C-alpha cells in the first residue's frame, strides 16, 4: 500500500485554505530584487531581505531531474550558499568549498584534530566569504572573512559566545559595507566588511536567532522578541514581544517584516507609520526554519505541510505535502523542499485551483539517501543536504534537469 506521502504527492496534495478563486492556473512569480539576473545563492536566505526566493527561473530545475553529483560530508550545520561556481557547505567540524559542477573539494577549513569548529551558513560578497565559527576548544568563537578562491583568512573578530545565526549583510546604497552577526549571549555586532573593525555592538540579552536587513537591521531572539535597529549605530527603533522563539524573519519591499515563531503563528509586522504593529496573524502553520516571501505570497512549513499565505491578509491560499521539516527555497515559479528522503518541487501558485482547493501542485519529486534538511537553489540545480542515510551517511546532492 502506498504511504500517505506518496498518495499526497501523486494527487497533488490537495490543501484546505480560505482564498477565493476559480478554475485557473495560479502559477506566477512576483517578487523582484537587485539579484534578478543571478543564478547564484550568495547569502543564507538568498538576499539581505532574507526572502529565500530568487526570481530568476534559470536558477533551478522545473522539469524531470537527474543527479549531477553527490558527495559524503560531515553533518551539515546550515544552508549551503553558492557563488561563482562554488558551493560553500558549513558542517559541524569544517567549512567546505565544493565545485558546483562536479562536487570536487576546492578547499577545506578545519576538520583536523584540535581544529574542528562548528560553522554557520556563510555569506559571500565580492569574492569574500563571511562565516561564523564556534569554539574548537583552542580558539574563541569568531566571525571570519575568507578569500573565496583559496579559503585564506583575511581577518577575524572574536565573539563573546557561541554563534547561533549566520551573518547578514547591510547594503548602504549599492555598497555592502557592514556585516552583522549575533551570539548566544545576546550581543549583536556590526563589523566593517573590509577591515574587520567592530563599528558598534548592541546587547539584547537573549540569544540571537535570525537577522534580516531592509532599511534597518531586524533581529529575532530566542526570547521571542523582534527588534528593529538602526544600521548605522545600533539604536533601537522598535521592539515587539511575540511570545515564542523567533525562527525566521523576512522583509518586504514596503518595509513590512514577516516573523515566524517556534510552534506559533506567523505575523506580518507593519512598516512606516505602522512600524512594529501586527497587520495580520496566521496560525495555520509555524516556521520550522526559514520563510519564503515572493512579493505576493508567504510560504512556511513546520514539519507537517507547506502553507502558502496571502501577503496582504495572511489567509491560507493552499497547502501541500507531508513531513516537511526541511529549510525551503524558491526560484522562478517553483518552490523546493524536502520531506523525509523525498525532494519536492512545487508550483508557486499551487497548480490549478477551485476556490480553496489546489490540484497537481507538484512539478517533480526525486528520492535521496537520507532525511533532507537543507536545500539551496542555484546554478540550474538544487543542492540538498541529508543525514540519517544508509550506514549513517551524511551527504550533499546536486540535482539538475534531466
Per-residue pLDDT averaged across 370-386, rounded? 97
Residue 98 inside a domain? The answer is no
- Structural domain of residue 65, as residue ranges? 1-37+56-77+326-402
Distance of CA 227 to the CA centre of its chain: 19
CA distance 336 to 346: 6
As a whole number, mean pLDDT of residues 81-94 equals 95
Q: Which residue has the higher pLDDT, 240 or 2?
A: 240
Which whole number is the average pLDDT over 310-325? 90
Instruction: Domain count for the chain, please give it.
Output: 1
Is residue 285 a part of any domain in this protein?
no
Residue 306 domain-assigned (yes or no) = no
**For the chain, what is the largest distance between any 2 Cα atoms, rounded to a whole number of angstroms?**
62
Higher pLDDT, 196 or 15: 196
Domain assignment present for 70: yes
- State the residue for C-alpha cell 506521502: 5
Query: What is the rounded end-to-end Cα distance, in angstroms, of the chain?
Result: 29
When pLDDT is cut at 50, 70 and 90, the band that residue 17 belongs to is very low
- 307 CB contacts (<8 Å, ≥6 apart)? 15, 17, 282, 284, 285, 299, 300, 301, 316, 318, 319
Which pLDDT value is given to residue 311?
Answer: 94
Task: Say if 255 falls within a structural domain.
Answer: no
User: What value does the mean pLDDT take over residues 190-212?
Assistant: 96
Confidence class for position 159, pLDDT limits 50, 70, 90: very high
| Mean pLDDT score of the chain | 87
Instruction: Note the pTM of the prediction, 2 decimals.
Output: 0.90
- Say what the pLDDT of residue 31 is: 47
Is the dihedral angle over the CA atoms 7, 13, 17, 22 positive or is it negative? negative
CB 75, CB 397: distance < 8 Å:
no
Q: Helices (DSSP H) in 12-142: which residue ranges?
A: none
Mean per-residue pLDDT for 354-360? 64
Lowest mean pLDDT among 11-20, 36-45, 129-138, 352-361: 11-20
The per-residue pLDDT for 280 is 95
Other Cβ atoms within 10 Å of 14 Cβ, number: 17
For residue 16, pLDDT over 50 is answered with no
pLDDT at residue 5, rounded to an integer? 34
Element containing residue 285 per DSSP (H, E): none
Tell me what percent of the residues of the chain surpass a pLDDT of 90. Answer: 69
Q: Give a yes or no: residue 273 inside a domain.
A: no
**Looking at the domain assignment, is residue 42 inside a domain?**
no
Half-sphere exposure of 335 (CA within 13 A, CB side): 35
pLDDT at residue 172 in the model: 65
- Is pLDDT at 224 greater than 80 in this prediction? yes
Give the model's pLDDT for residue 134: 87
Specify the higher pLDDT residue, 214 or 273: 214
Tell me, yes or no, whether 342 lies in a domain: yes
Return the pLDDT at 84.
Answer: 97
Amino acid at each position: 500500500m502506498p504511504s500517505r506521502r506518496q498518495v499526497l504527492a501523486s494527487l497533488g496534495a490537495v490543501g484546505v485554505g480560505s482564498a477565493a478563486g476559480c478554475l485557473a492556473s495560479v502559477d506566477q512569480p512576483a517578487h523582484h530584487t537587485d539579484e534578478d539576473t543571478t543564478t547564484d545563492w550568495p547569502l543564507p536566505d538568498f538576499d539581505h531581505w532574507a526572502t529565500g526566493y530568487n526570481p530568476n527561473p534559470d536558477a533551478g530545475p522545473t522539469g524531470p531531474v537527474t543527479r549531477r553529483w553527490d558527495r559524503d560530508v560531515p553533518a551539515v550545520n546550515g544552508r549551503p550558499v553558492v557563488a561563482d561556481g562554488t558551493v560553500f557547505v558549513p558542517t559541524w567540524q569544517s567549512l567546505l568549498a565544493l565545485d558546483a559542477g562536479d562536487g570536487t573539494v576546492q578547499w577545506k577549513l578545519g576538520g583536523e584534530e584540535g581544529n574542528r569548529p562548528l560553522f554557520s551558513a556563510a555569506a559571500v560578497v565580492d569574492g569574500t566569504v563571511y562565516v561564523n565559527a564556534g569554539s574548537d576548544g583552542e580558539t574563541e568563537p569568531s566571525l571570519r572573512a575568507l578569500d573565496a578562491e583559496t579559503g585564506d583568512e583575511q581577518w577575524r573578530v572574536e565573539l563573546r559566545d557561541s554563534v547561533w545565526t549566520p551573518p547578514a549583510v547591510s547594503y548602504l546604497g549599492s555598497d555592502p559595507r557592514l556585516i552583522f552577526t549575533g551570539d548566544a549571549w545576546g550581543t549583536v555586532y556590526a563589523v566593517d566588511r573590509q577591515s574587520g573593525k567592530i563599528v558598534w555592538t548592541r546587547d539584547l540579552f537573549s540569544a540571537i536567532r535570525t537577522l534580516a536587513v531592509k532599511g534597518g537591521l531586524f533581529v529575532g531572539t530566542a526570547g521571542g522578541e523582534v527588534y528593529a535597529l538602526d544600521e548605522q549605530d545600533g539604536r533601537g527603533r522598535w521592539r515587539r514581544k511575540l511570545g515564542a522563539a523567533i525562527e525566521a524573519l523576512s522583509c518586504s519591499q514596503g518595509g513590512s517584516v514577516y516573523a515566524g515563531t517556534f510552534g506559533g503563528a506567523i505575523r506580518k509586522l507593519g512598516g512606516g507609520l505602522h512600524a512594529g504593529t501586527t497587520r495580520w496573524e496566521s496560525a495555520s502553520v509555524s516556521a520550522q526554519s526559514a520563510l519564503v516571501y515572493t512579493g505576493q505570497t508567504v510560504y512556511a512549513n513546520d514539519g507537517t505541510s507547506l502553507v502558502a499565505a496571502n501577503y496582504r491578509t495572511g489567509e491560507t491560499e493552499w497547502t501541500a505535502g507531508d513531513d516537511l521539516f526541511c529549510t525551503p527555497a524558491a526560484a522562478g515559479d517553483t518552490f523546493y523542499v524536502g520531506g523525509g528522503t523525498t525532494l519536492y518541487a512545487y508550483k508557486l501558485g499551487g497548480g490549478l485551483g477551485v476556490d480553496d482547493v489546489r490540484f497537481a501542485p507538484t512539478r517533480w519529486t526525486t528520492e535521496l539517501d537520507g532525511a533532507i534538511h537543507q536545500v539551496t537553489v542555484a546554478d540550474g540545480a538544487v543542492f540538498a543536504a541529508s543525514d540519517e542515510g544508509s550506514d549513517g551517511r551524511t551527504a550533499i546532492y546536486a540535482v539538475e534537469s534531466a
